[in-house]
Structures are given as structure tokens and as C-alpha cells.
Amino acid sequence: MFDIGPAEIAVLAVLAVIIFGPERLPDLARKAARVVRFLRNIANDAQNTLSRELGTEVDLSNPKAFVKSYLLDEIQPVIDDVKKDLEDVERDVRSELGQVRTNIEALDHARPVRAGAPFDPEAT
């Protein structure tokens, strides 16, 4: 899991003896073992609870596969419906936008601006 070889373990052991001292090292090792045991129990309890609630054996070695198979399968139809609705809205908006552009172009051609249009300096 951590890919630590014997040389790295030996270096860590020597550093631990130097940093903590030989008299405190056994107590720290016991505490570290208790923490690891506690965390392992929490993980096992969580896995057992998930297995019991889902009714199947849960494999948490690949979290992405777990989420996809147990959570996304139930909501995938909803996600697909939302995507379809968004695509419909996008198509409608693009159609309306095209119509607005056509109307603007028609207005531009219908009312050409005359050169030398009257200008009233008092109106501004």
C-alpha cells in the first residue's frame, strides 16, 4: 500500500529512536497500534453497515466503481431527463435568438438612416 522497502523501514526506525529516545518508543508504538486498530474497526463497521443497508457485499477497493454501481444507477435516469430538458431549452433559445436577429436585420433595412438628418442642439 505504501510501497516502503526494508531500507526505508530501517531508516525510519533509527530516526524514531533518535527523535523519541529508546525509553519512549515502546509507549508510542503501542499508541500507534491502538490508533491503527481503531481506524481499522471504523472502516470495517462502515463497510459492514453499507453491506447490510445495500443488501450486497460491498467492495470499497475501487470507490469510483462503488459510487457508480450503487448511487449513480438510481439517479442516472433523472440526470438523463435533465440533460434532455436542457438540450430542448438550448435549442429553443437558439431558435428564438435566430428569430430576434432576423427581426433586427429586417428593422435595420426597413428604416435606413438618412445622411444629413436634422439635428436640434437645444434638444440635447
Place of cell 467492495: 59
C-alpha cell at 82: 435533465
Pair 70, 50 in one domain? no
In angstroms, the first-to-last Cα distance of the chain is: 78
The per-residue pLDDT for 77 is 84
The last residue of a domain, from among 24, 39, 58: 58
Residue 89: domain span: 62-110
Pair 6, 32 in one domain? yes
- Residue 116, domain member (yes or no): no
Which residue pairs from 52-58 have beta carbons closer than 8 angstroms and sit at least 24 positions apart in sequence?
none
Q: What is the CA radius of gyration of the chain?
A: 35
Q: Which of 70, 41, 72 is nearest to 60 (CA)?
A: 70
Rounded to the nearest 10°, the torsion over CA 66, 72, 74, 77 is: -150
The per-residue pLDDT for 13 is 86
Pair 52, 96 in one domain? no
For 50, residues 6+ apart whose C-beta sits below 8 A from its C-beta are 58, 60
Band the pLDDT of 104: cuts 50, 70, 90: confident
Pair 100, 48 in one domain? no
- Are 38 and 45 in contact, with CB atoms under 8 Å apart? no
List pLDDT tens digits, range 7-47: 998 998 888 888 888 888 889 889 999 999 999 999 889 88
The per-residue pLDDT for 118 is 65
List pLDDT tens digits, range 54-88: 777 767 777 777 777 777 777 888 888 999 999 99
The per-residue pLDDT for 63 is 74
**What is the tally of structural domains in the chain?**
2
Pair 50, 3 in one domain? yes
Predicted model pTM: 0.41
Phi and psi dihedrals of 120, rounded to 5?
-110, 105
